[in-house]
């Protein structure tokens, strides 16, 4: 094999992710072999022929270029007096070859990771004294490289053991070998190691040592002892490889434990290297530029520096391309006219970024900014994020006003990181992010808030907390600071800048400004409000204090006494700011224009919303929906319009703002935008241009609500809720994805509204009685209109909560809807049936299974009676009920109903109708539950053929059928077919739904089931452990999918001989299944059966019998004695009893002095190879 550099794999940009900037993410992995090896065979498994650097590594790290270096590795050249010269010669060749290759590829400064075996690591160590390689090297993996001594005789005569599988070159004769053994070899190695040690701290180092000895004739010994291969050094990693010295760099499968350890390290290094090496080259270039500039300016003068700057600027732009900020979501955009606080910003920056800020152990750096409302904490955090944007890969904000908004913020991070939109997924993504990140936890004011719970785990990242609560400063691991008023000159500057008074400022202006600043306590928010009032000509600068003092006196405010407590001082600060708001508001109200009135009403409304991310289209959608409603009513016939006229007279007035009332001409979305501009002009709201939303400062928000009287609060809270519900559409008009995103953003505002204005519906039967209710339907239409409006609002609230997984609130409001509709329209009305089905779905989400089934039964009965048993809607409801029976473990009821449903659907809808195919797919699953596996497989194949033809192979519905088919094949023992299909389903669901979507995780669990049956236990274990962790993040610890995953993991442990771990895990699963699904559910019975088999495996026959008896007792309720599982458990327990009786007879015989007849333990047991 020739010497020099050989390319094994060229980085695949397309597989590495987004094409933009991918080339800057590439890393060169350079493999250097040891003695008696060459650049290919050194890394190739002798039995399988697998070259892991080429066959396995690119699958895990597609954005890495893989090269090997070959050289004359005959042992004689490395031994004796010429050893040092030989090593230096090979090092020079390696550098020259590497530099030439990288120069031709245009990647001179690309990060390098060396993978070295044996004495090849010594060559790589010597390479690091060469400048360009040193700067670009990020990590070195040493496999069995000696660092303090070497036995030359051992390197010359290895009789390689069969398991190592390394082809060895012809050995030297013994007399030659003996003459080469010299102390010079170890001395040379010691010198190189000492030279390399100071450089080592610049790299990530991973030492691997051999755990199996190599055969030398009749002897076995280690070529490199552990203490030499993996010396104890700070900031290095160490691990043993279960192989001989030669075999430790040859892997036959990508699932081996040793390979997974190696590839995990390489993947981590490849992820982190680009940013680190980019910064390293930037610093080196700056140093080089300064040196060359000094030298050149002495020769040719200062003009030379201009050309050098162009070179370094161009290079820095390229090298820093990949390190630019990718996620930037501060609390809000920084005002370009931000004033002051530079000393504090510099202090926070120095504290967070200084390597000496935490002298003890490395930990997550958190800084707390606390102070009274209005002092500018949020603005400061936004400014810090803006100033340091390029130092962070990601900047996110947690809205910490309450637990729900904090959860939503983390869920958004999880979604942006490619995981599920859950709180735990967001925290997990941050904790795993190896690039620098900043988390701003804003407005963490509630003393009951568990602030510690909001910090992502791990010791990475920076956290900046803003709070009014001084007690939270204990969480500042890097420090804290109390933010007070601005400095006098900063306050004056902010006031006059906001007032837009041109410079230079005369003495009178500065004097008036200083008086105002002092009176306003140098508080930034009050100064902004005052400056805006002057700019908008509400008053002159010199008159502002007179107006402010007027509103101050109306509030009954006073100056604080010397002994006043901190709480009253904070209240005084709020009064100062509130008085500034009062002045602006009175000006707005006094204008008395339609625009100013709309602005006042919007301010009244948003006081009952959450103060952040108030979408403008809350109001514009409400207007558009009102317009559509009016347009539909005017488009009717003359008779219809006359009826509408009568109805409108009976309908009570809507509690809505003025801009949502009137005819089509009055309902204009521009009214909202003009009103919002008025509020923005007075600095009462701040626009967020990214998503057409606005926010209020928390003090503006509380002031907007607090200034209303008790009666006014009740009215405007109801108007605020009605405005929200007017903007929401119910199915089927809400089908577009934009509507779903809108409803997600609506949730915090809905929470606030309903807290201020709880929705209550009265039971009309109790209020009026049945006779009066019947009369009311004819004579008291106004009352019924009120009730109908309540039902619509409750339906919209329930729909939003159910969609977001808030099933408890969803059930509350949908129950209201169902009760109202039953009382006013009856069970057999279609609207009542739709609402009942919606409530049933939410009950499923809550685990109230019996209640859900009863609701679905009622709908099936009503639709069968009103629409007929063959009606499409009736059949759909029957299919849903059949699936509910199956999920609840009522397999007999499910099978009977699904067979009737599918026969009717095929007759009335046709075989290939989507609803028919869905019902058939459900029937196939139920047949599988009855162990009718062949019938199940045939049905799934038929459905697959139709769905693949109509929808395509990768449609989500088709993937569901593929999943079901794979499970039928698994039950029939067709394992390789099942494996191929499940791998396809997992891959496609990951692409379409995401890696941690519940359906993706379910598919991973099913793939693991197949792997277990194939005996690929390590792969199954890895799939399950990762899947369970993701399931807990995306779902919950007690979710059915997580429990099923744990059950499969217990099977893996049992087959691996880890019986105790399997038993503990199985008992946990049984306990949680009993709590969530009930002790009569087949899943509980099946888990008991698995437990019995596990006890049998351990020889605990009495416990096994107890578990089976418990299972049979529970099975009578739902499974019944006809089910195959019941029969299997019954047969199994009889065999166990017979075996136990036989052992007792043997024991009695032994006690009586007779001989014992030994028989295999499991001879009489049926085949139970399910573990």
3-state secondary structure of 372: coil
- Residue 945 located in a structural domain: yes
636 Cβ contact list (under 8 Å, min separation 6): 644
947 Cβ contact list (under 8 Å, min separation 6): 917, 955, 957, 958, 961
3-state helix, strand, coil in the chain (%, to 5): 60, 10, 30
Q: Strands of 199-325 (E only): list them.
A: 204-210, 214-216, 219-221, 236-241
Q: Residue 125 sits in a domain of what CATH number?
A: 3.40.50.1820
Q: Are strands 365-370 and 479-482 parallel, antiparallel or unpaired?
A: parallel
Last residue of a domain, one of 588, 618, 652: 588
Ramachandran region, residue 83 (left: φ > 0; alpha: ψ -120 to 50; beta: rest): alpha
Q: What is the DSSP string of 461-512?
A: SEEEEEES-GGGGGG-SSEEEE--PPPHHHHHHHHHHHTTPPSSPPHHHHHH
Residue found under tokens 């003495």: 507
Q: Based on the fold, state whether residues 462 and 496 are members of the same structural domain.
A: no
928 neighbors 968 (Cβ within 8 angstroms): yes
27 neighbors 60 (Cβ within 8 angstroms): no
**Overall pTM surpassing 0.75 (yes/no):** no
Q: How far apart are alpha carbons 607 and 620 in whole angstroms? A: 18
Identify the pLDDT of residue 175: 35
Longest CA pairwise span in the chain (Å)? 120
- Residue 344 located in a structural domain: yes
Q: How far apart are alpha carbons 322 and 699 in whole angstroms? A: 40
Instruction: Compute how many other C-beta atoms are within 10 angstroms of the C-beta atom of residue 666.
Output: 15
Residue 941 burial by Cβ neighbours in a 10 Å radius (0-12, 13-18, 19+): middle
368 neighbors 472 (Cβ within 8 angstroms): yes
Q: Based on the fold, state whether residues 968 and 1062 are members of the same structural domain.
A: no
Cis before 291? omega within 30: no
Identify the pLDDT of residue 374: 79
Q: How far apart are alpha carbons 165 and 247 in whole angstroms? A: 6
Q: Based on the fold, state whether residues 246 and 185 are members of the same structural domain.
A: yes
**Helix or strand (DSSP H, E) at 396:** strand 394-399
Residue 829 burial by Cβ neighbours in a 10 Å radius (0-12, 13-18, 19+): middle
Joined tokens for residue 828: 């057999």
Q: How far is CA 637 from CA 78, 549, 646, in A?
A: 102, 62, 14
Q: Based on the fold, state whether residues 533 and 638 are members of the same structural domain.
A: no
HEC assignment per residue over 117-128: ECCHHHHHHHHC
List pLDDT tens digits, range 272-290: 899 888 888 887 777 666 5
Last residue of a domain, one of 691, 723, 755: 723
Identify the pLDDT of residue 13: 59
Q: Residue 344 sits in a domain of what CATH number?
A: 3.40.50.300
Q: How far apart are alpha carbons 1138 and 1129 in whole angstroms? A: 14
Cα torsion 416, 421, 426, 428: sign: negative
Residue found under tokens 């006779």: 771
Q: What is the pLDDT of the chain when averaged over all its residues?
A: 80
Identify the pLDDT of residue 362: 58
Q: Based on the fold, state whether residues 232 and 347 are members of the same structural domain.
A: no
- The closest alpha carbon to 1170, from 976, 1013, 973, belongs to 1013
φ, ψ of residue 213 to 5 degrees: the values are -75, 160
Q: How far apart are alpha carbons 5 and 280 in whole angstroms? A: 25
Q: How far apart are alpha carbons 39 and 6 in whole angstroms? A: 8
263 neighbors 60 (Cβ within 8 angstroms): yes
Count of the separate structural domains present in the chain: 8
Instruction: Compute how many other C-beta atoms are within 10 angstroms of the C-beta atom of residue 891.
Output: 21
Q: How far is CA 545 from CA 519, 531, 533, in A?
A: 8, 12, 11
Last residue of a domain, one of 893, 914, 930: 930
Length of the chain: 1171
Q: Based on the fold, state whether residues 710 and 602 are members of the same structural domain.
A: yes
CA 675 to chain CA centroid, Å, is 38
Straight-line distance from the first to the last Cα atom of the chain, in angstroms, rounded to the nearest whole number: 49
137-143 β-sheet, strand order: 4-9, 64-70, 27-32, 112-117, 137-143, 204-210, 236-241
**Helix or strand (DSSP H, E) at 794:** helix 781-803
693-695 β-sheet, strand order: 614-615, 693-695, 686-688
Q: Based on the fold, state whether residues 515 and 437 are members of the same structural domain.
A: no
150 neighbors 121 (Cβ within 8 angstroms): no
Q: How far apart are alpha carbons 725 and 732 in whole angstroms? A: 16
Q: How far apart are alpha carbons 1156 and 904 in whole angstroms? A: 65
- The closest alpha carbon to 89, from 73, 105, 108, belongs to 73
- Residue 215 located in a structural domain: yes
Joined tokens for residue 61: 């790290």
Q: Are strands 614-615 and 693-695 parallel, antiparallel or unpaired?
A: antiparallel
Q: How far apart are alpha carbons 542 and 544 in whole angstroms? A: 6
528 neighbors 496 (Cβ within 8 angstroms): no
3-state secondary structure of 394: strand
3-state secondary structure of 237: strand
50 neighbors 40 (Cβ within 8 angstroms): no
562 Cβ contact list (under 8 Å, min separation 6): none
Q: Based on the fold, state whether residues 181 and 271 are members of the same structural domain.
A: yes
> With b meaning 16 or more CB within 10 Å and e meaning fewer, what string describes 117-137?
bbbbbbbbbbbbebebbbbbb
Cα torsion 586, 588, 594, 597: sign: negative
Structural domain span for residue 307: 283-321
807 neighbors 846 (Cβ within 8 angstroms): yes
Residue found under tokens 């809205």: 399
Q: Based on the fold, state whether residues 1029 and 1089 are members of the same structural domain.
A: no
Q: How far apart are alpha carbons 927 and 902 in whole angstroms? A: 13
167 neighbors 41 (Cβ within 8 angstroms): yes
Q: Based on the fold, state whether residues 970 and 1092 are members of the same structural domain.
A: no
Residue found under tokens 């590829």: 105
- Residue 599 located in a structural domain: yes
Q: How far apart are alpha carbons 216 and 399 in whole angstroms? A: 67
Cis before 504? omega within 30: yes
Q: Based on the fold, state whether residues 51 and 193 are members of the same structural domain.
A: yes
Identify the pLDDT of residue 815: 87
Q: How far is CA 871 from CA 860, 876, 884, 901, in A?
A: 11, 9, 20, 11
Q: How far apart are alpha carbons 984 and 955 in whole angstroms? A: 12
546 Cβ contact list (under 8 Å, min separation 6): 539
Instruction: Look up residue 78 and give its DSSP letter.
Output: G
**Helix or strand (DSSP H, E) at 1043:** helix 1040-1055
Q: Based on the fold, state whether residues 241 and 371 are members of the same structural domain.
A: no
Stretches in the chain below the pLDDT threshold 70: 1-3, 13-23, 75-86, 88, 120-131, 148-201, 287-324, 355-362, 556-573, 632-653, 689-691, 734-738, 761-787, 1143-1171
């Amino acid at each position: 094999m020739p010497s020099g550099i050989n390319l094994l794999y060229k980085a695949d940009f397309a597989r590495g992710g987004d094409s933009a900037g991918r080339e800057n993410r590439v890393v060169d992995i350079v493999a250097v072999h040891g003695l008696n090896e060459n650049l290919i065979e050194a890394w190739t498994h002798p039995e399988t022929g697998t070259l892991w650097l080429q066959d396995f590594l690119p699958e895990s790290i597609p954005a890495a270029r893989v090269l090997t270096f070959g050289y004359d590795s005959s042992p004689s050249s490395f031994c004796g007096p010429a050893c040092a010269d030989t090593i230096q010669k090979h090092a020079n060749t390696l550098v020259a070859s590497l530099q030439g290759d990288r120069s031709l590829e245009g990647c001179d400064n690309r990060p390098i990771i060396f993978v070295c075996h044996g004495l090849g690591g010594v060559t790589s160590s010597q390479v690091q004294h060469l400048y360009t390689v040193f700067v670009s090297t990020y990590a070195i993996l040493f496999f069995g490289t000696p660092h303090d001594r070497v036995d030359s005789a051992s390197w010359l005569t290895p009789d390689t053991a069969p398991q190592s599988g390394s082809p060895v070159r012809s050995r030297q004769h013994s007399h030659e070998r003996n003459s080469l053994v010299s102390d010079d070899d170890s001395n040379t190695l010691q010198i190189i190691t000492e030279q390399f040690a100071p450089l080592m701290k610049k790299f990530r180092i991973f030492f691997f040592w051999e755990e199996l000895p190599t055969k030398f004739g009749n002897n076995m010994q280690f070529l490199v002892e552990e203490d030499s291969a993996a010396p104890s050094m700070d900031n290095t990693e160490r691990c043993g490889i279960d192989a001989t010295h030669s075999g430790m760099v040859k892997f036959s499968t990508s699932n081996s434990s040793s390979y997974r350890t190696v590839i995990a390290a390489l993947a981590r290094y490849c992820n982190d290297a680009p940013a680190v090496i980019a910064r390293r080259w930037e610093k080196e270039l700056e140093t080089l530029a300064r040196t060359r500039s000094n030298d050149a300016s002495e020769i040719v003068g200062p003009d030379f520096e201009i050309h050098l700057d162009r070179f370094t600027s161009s290079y820095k732009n390229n090298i820093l391309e990949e390190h630019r900020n990718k996620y930037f979501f501060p609390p809000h955009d920084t005002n370009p006219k931000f004033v002051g606080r530079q000393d504090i910003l510099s202090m926070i920056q120095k504290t967070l970024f200084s390597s000496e800020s935490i002298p003890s152990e490395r930990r997550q750096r958190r800084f707390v900014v606390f102070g009274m409302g209005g002092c500018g904490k949020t603005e400061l955090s936004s400014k810090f994020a803006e100033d340091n944007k390029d130092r962070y890969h990601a900047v996110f904000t947690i809205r910490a006003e309450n637990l729900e908004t904090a959860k939503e913020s983390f869920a958004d991070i999880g979604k942006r990181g490619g995981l599920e939109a859950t709180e735990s997924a967001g925290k997990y993504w941050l904790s795993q992010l190896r690039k620098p990140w900043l988390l701003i936890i804003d407005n963490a004011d509630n003393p009951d808030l568990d602030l510690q719970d909001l910090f992502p785990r791990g010791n990475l990242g920076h956290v900046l907390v803003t709070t009014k609560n001084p007690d939270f400063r204990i969480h500042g691991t890097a420090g804290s600071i109390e933010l007070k008023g601005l400095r006098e000159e900063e306050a004056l500057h902010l006031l006059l800048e906001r007032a837009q008074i041109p410079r230079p400022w005369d003495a009178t202006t500065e004097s008036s400004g200083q008086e105002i600043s002092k009176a306003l306590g140098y508080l930034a928010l009050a100064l902004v409000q005052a400056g805006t009032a002057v700019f908008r000509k509400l008053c002159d600068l010199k008159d502002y204090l007179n107006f402010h003092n007027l509103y101050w006196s109306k509030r009954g405010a006073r100056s604080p006494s010397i002994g006043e407590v901190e709480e009253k001082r904070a209240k005084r600060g709020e009064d100062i700011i509130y008085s500034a708001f009062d002045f602006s508001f009175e000006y707005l109200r006094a204008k008395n224009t339609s625009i100013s009135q709309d602005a006042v009403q919007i301010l009244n409304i948003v006081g009952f919303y959450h103060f952040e991310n108030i979408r403008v289209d809350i109001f514009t959608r409400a207007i558009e929906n009102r317009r559509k409603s009016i347009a539909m009513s005017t488009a009717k016939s003359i008779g219809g319009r006359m009826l509408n006229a009568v109805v409108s007279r009976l309908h009570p007035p809507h509690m809505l703002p003025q801009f949502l009332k009137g005819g089509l001409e009055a309902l204009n979305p521009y009214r909202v935008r003009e009103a919002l501009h008025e509020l923005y002009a007075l600095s009462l709201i701040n626009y967020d241009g990214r998503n057409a939303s606005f926010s209020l400062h928390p003090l503006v928000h509380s002031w907007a609500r607090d200034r209303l009287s008790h009666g006014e609060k009740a009215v405007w809270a109801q108007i605020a809720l009605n405005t929200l519900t007017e903007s929401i559409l119910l199915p089927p008009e809400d089908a577009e994805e934009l509507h779903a995103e809108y409803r997600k953003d609506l949730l915090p505002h809905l929470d606030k509204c309903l807290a201020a204005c709880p929705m209550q519906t009265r039971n009309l039967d109790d209020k009026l009685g049945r006779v009066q209710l019947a009369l009311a339907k004819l004579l008291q239409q106004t009352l019924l209109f009120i009730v109908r409006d309540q039902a619509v609002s409750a339906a919209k609230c329930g729909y939003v909560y159910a969609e977001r997984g808030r099933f408890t609130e969803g059930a509350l409001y949908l129950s209201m809807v169902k009760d109202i509709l039953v009382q006013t329209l009856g069970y057999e009305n279609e609207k009542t049936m739709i609402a009942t089905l919606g409530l049933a779905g939410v009950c499923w989400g809550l685990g109230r299974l019996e209640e859900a089934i009863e609701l679905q039964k009622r709908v099936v009965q009503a639709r069968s009676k009103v629409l007929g048993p063959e009606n499409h809607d009736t059949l759909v409801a029957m299919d849903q009920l059949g699936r509910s029976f199956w999920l609840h473990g009522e397999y007999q009821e499910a099978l009977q109903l699904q067979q009737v449903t599918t026969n009717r659907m095929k007759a009335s809808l046709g075989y290939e109708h989507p609803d028919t195919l869905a019902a058939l797919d459900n029937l196939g699953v139920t047949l599988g539950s009855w162990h009718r596996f062949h019938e199940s497989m045939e049905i799934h194949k038929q459905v697959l053929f139709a769905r693949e033809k109509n929808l395509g192979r990768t449609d989500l519905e088709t993937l569901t059928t593929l999943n079901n088919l794979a499970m039928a094949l698994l039950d029939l023992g067709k394992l390789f077919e099942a494996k191929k299909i499940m791998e396809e389903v997992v891959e496609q669901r990951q692409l379409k739904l995401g890696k941690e979507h519940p359906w993706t995780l379910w598919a991973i669990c099913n793939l693991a089931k197949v792997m277990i049956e194939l005996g690929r236990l390590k792969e199954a274990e890895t799939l399950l452990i990762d899947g369970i962790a993701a399931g807990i993040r995306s779902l919950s610890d007690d979710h059915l999918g997580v429990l099923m995953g744990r059950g499969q993991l217990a099977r893996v442990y049992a087959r691996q001989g880890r019986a105790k771990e399997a038993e503990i895990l199985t008992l946990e699963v049984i306990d949680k299944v009993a709590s969530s699904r009930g002790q009569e559910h087949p899943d509980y019975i099946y888990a008991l059966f698995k437990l019995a088999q596990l006890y049998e495996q351990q020889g605990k026959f009495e416990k096994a019998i107890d578990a089976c008896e418990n299972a049979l007792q529970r099975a009578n309720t739902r499974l019944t004695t006809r089910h195959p599982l019941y029969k299997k458990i019954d047969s199994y327990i009889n065999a166990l009893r017979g075996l136990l009786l036989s052992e007792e007879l043997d024991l009695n015989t032994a006690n009586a002095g007779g001989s014992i007849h030994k028989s295999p333990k499991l001879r009489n047991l049926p085949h139970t190879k399910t573990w």
